Chains A and B, each alone.
Chain A
Amino acid sequence: MANIVSVENVRASYGGTVALDGVSLEIEEGSSFALLGPNGAGKTTLMNILCTLRAPQDGRVLVAGHDVVRAPRLARRSIGVVFQTSSLDDRLTARENLNFHGLVHGLAPKRRRFHIERVLELVGLQDWQDEIVRTFSGGMRRRLEIARALMHEPRILFLDEPTVGLDAQTRQQIWEYLDQLRTERKITILTTTHYIEEVEDADVVCIIDRGKIIAQGSPEALKAEHGRRWVQADVTHAEARKAILAQFPEARPLGARSIVAPAESIEADYLQTEPFKDKLTEIRYREPTLESVFLSLTGRDLRDRTDGEREAQMAEGRRGGRR
Chain B
Amino acid sequence: MSRRPRHPWLRPAANIGLIAVLLIALSFLPPDNSLAEVQENGVLKLCVPESYPPLVQADEDSPGFDVELAGLIAQEIGVRLVVNVMPSIGRDFNPRNWRLTRGQCNIIAGGVADTVQTQGFLQTLPTLAETGWVGISLDGSLPARGSSWAVWPGTSGLDRLALSRWLRENDVKARLVSSPTELRALLDRGEIDGAITERFAASATGIDNGKYQVFWLPPESFERFRMALGLWKGDQTLYRAVRAALKKLDYKVKNIGSEYGLVYNFRVTSEQLAAKNFTCGLALTT
- State whether the Cβ of B101 lies closer than 8 Å to any Cβ in chain A: no
Segment 114-139 of A: residues with Cβ below 8 Å from B:
117, 129-130, 132
A86-132 with Cβ < 8 A to chain B:
93, 95-96, 113, 117, 129-130, 132
> What B residues does A129 contact at CB under 8 A?
3, 5
Is the beta-carbon distance between A93 and B8 smaller than 8 angstroms?
A: yes
For residues 156 through 204 of chain A, which have their beta carbon under 8 Å from a beta carbon of chain B?
none
**Is B8 in contact with A96, judged by CB distance below 8 angstroms?**
yes
B2, B5, B7: the one within 8 Å of A117 (CB): B2
The interface size of chain B toward A, counting residues with CB under 8 Å, comes to 6
Q: Does B26 contact A (CB under 8 A)?
A: no
Q: Name the distance in Å between A241's Cβ and chain B's nearest Cβ.
A: 62
What separation, in Å, do the CA atoms of A93 and B6 have in the docked complex?
Answer: 12
Q: Tell me if B8 and A113 are in contact (CB < 8 A).
A: no
Residues 200-243 of A, flagged 1 when their CB comes within 8 A of B and 0 if not, give 00000000000000000000000000000000000000000000
Chain B neighbourhood of A117, CB < 8 A: 1-2
- In the complex, the chain B residue whose C-beta lies closest to that of A99 is B5
The CA of A93 and the CA of B2, in the complex, are separated in Å by 16
When distances are taken between beta carbons in the complex, the residues of chain A under 8 Å from B7 are: 130
State the CA gap A76–B5 with chains docked (Å).
29
Residue-wise, chain B 2-38 has the 8 Å CB interface mask toward A (1 for contact) of: 1101011000000000000000000000000000000
State which of B1, B2, B5 has its C-beta within 8 Å of the C-beta of A130.
B5
Are the C-beta atoms of A96 and B5 separated by less than 8 Å? Answer: yes
B1–A93 touching, CB < 8 Å: no
Among A96, A113, A130: residue with most chain B CB under 10 A: A130
Cβ distance A97 to chain B, nearest Cβ, rounded Å: 12
Q: Closest B residue to A92 by CB, please name it.
A: B8
Give Cα A132 to B12, complex, Å.
14
Instruction: Annotate A132-149 by CB proximity to B: 1 below 8 A, 0 otherwise.
Output: 100000000000000000
- In angstroms, Cα B1 to Cα A113, docked, is 10
**In whole angstroms, what is the CA distance A253 to B5 when docked?**
59
A117–B3 Cα distance when bound, in Å, is 10
A residues 45-100 in Cβ contact with B at 8 Å: 93, 95-96
Q: Which residue from chain A places its CB closest to the CB of B8 in the assembled complex?
A: A93
Whole-angstrom distance from the CB of B4 to the nearest CB of chain A?
A: 9
**Which chain B positions have C-beta within 8 A of A93?**
5, 8
Question: Which residues of chain B are near A130, meaning CB under 8 Å?
Answer: 3, 5, 7-8
Distance between B150 CB and nearest chain A CB, rounded to angstroms:
78
Which residues of chain A are near B2, meaning CB under 8 Å? 113, 117
Give the CA-CA distance A96 to B12 in the complex, in Å. 15
A137 to chain B minimum Cβ distance, whole angstroms, is 20
B85 to chain A, nearest CB (A): 69
Inter-chain CA distance A129–B1, complex, in Å, is 12
Closest Cβ of chain B to A151, distance in Å, is 16
Bound complex: CA A95 to CA B8 (Å): 10
**Closest Cβ of chain A: how far from B11's Cβ, in Å?**
11
| Separation of A33 and B198 alpha carbons in the complex (Å) | 95
Residues of B within 8 Å of A96, CB to CB, are: 5, 8
**CB of A123, distance to nearest CB on chain B (Å):** 16
Chain B residues positioned under 8 Å from A132 (CB to CB): 8
Contacts of A113 in B (CB 8 A): 2
Q: With A and B bound together, what is the CA distance between A96 and B5 in angstroms? A: 9
Binary A-proximity of B139-157 (CB < 8 A = 1, otherwise 0): 0000000000000000000
Q: Closest CB of chain B to A125's CB: distance in Å?
A: 13
Q: A130 CA to B1 CA in the complex, in Å?
A: 13
Q: How far is the CB of A112 from chain B (nearest CB, A)?
A: 11
- Say how far A127's CB is from chain B's closest CB, in angstroms: 10
Whether B5 and A95, one on each chain, are in contact in the complex, defined by CB atoms closer than 8 angstroms, is yes
CB nearest neighbor in A for B1: A117
Shortest CB distance B234–A (Å): 44
Contact digits for B154-173, partner A, Cβ 8 Å, 1 yes 0 no:
00000000000000000000
Question: A95 CA to B3 CA in the complex, in Å?
Answer: 10
Which chain B residue has the least Cβ–Cβ distance from A126?
B3
Q: Closest CB-CB distance, B180 to chain A, in whole Å?
A: 75
> When chains A and B are docked, how far (Å) is the Cα of A113 from the Cα of B3?
10
A236–B8 CA distance with the chains assembled, in angstroms = 59
Kindly identify, within residues 22 to 55 of chain A, every residue whose CB is under 8 Å from any CB belonging to chain B: none
| Chain B residue at minimum C-beta to C-beta distance from A117 | B1
> Who on chain B is nearest to A95 by CB?
B5
Rounded to whole angstroms, the CA-CA distance of A93 and B9 in the bound complex is 11
A130 to B2, CA, bound (A): 12
Set of chain A residues within 8 Å of B8, measured between Cβ atoms: 93, 96, 130, 132
User: Closest CB of chain A to B3's CB: distance in Å?
Assistant: 7
Write the nearest CB–CB distance from B75 to chain A, whole angstroms. Answer: 59
In the docked arrangement, what's the CA distance between A133 and B2, Å?
A: 20
Q: Which residue of B lies closest to A132 (CB)?
A: B8
In the complex, A54 Cα to B132 Cα: how many Å? 74
Shortest CB-to-CB span from B114 to chain A, Å, is: 53
In the bound complex, CA of A127 to CA of B64 (Å): 79
Task: Give Cα distance in the complex from A132 to B7, angstroms.
Answer: 11
12 sampled A-B residue pairs with Cβ under 8 A: A93-B5, A95-B5, A96-B5, A117-B1, A117-B2, A129-B3, A129-B5, A130-B3, A130-B5, A130-B7, A130-B8, A132-B8
Interface set of B (CB-CB < 8 Å, partner A) = 1-3, 5, 7-8
Q: Which 5 A-B pairs have the closest CB atoms?
A: A130-B5, A95-B5, A93-B8, A117-B1, A130-B8
Beyond A93-B8, A117-B1, 13 additional pairs, beta carbon < 8 A: A93-B5, A95-B5, A96-B5, A96-B8, A113-B2, A117-B2, A129-B3, A129-B5, A130-B3, A130-B5, A130-B7, A130-B8, A132-B8
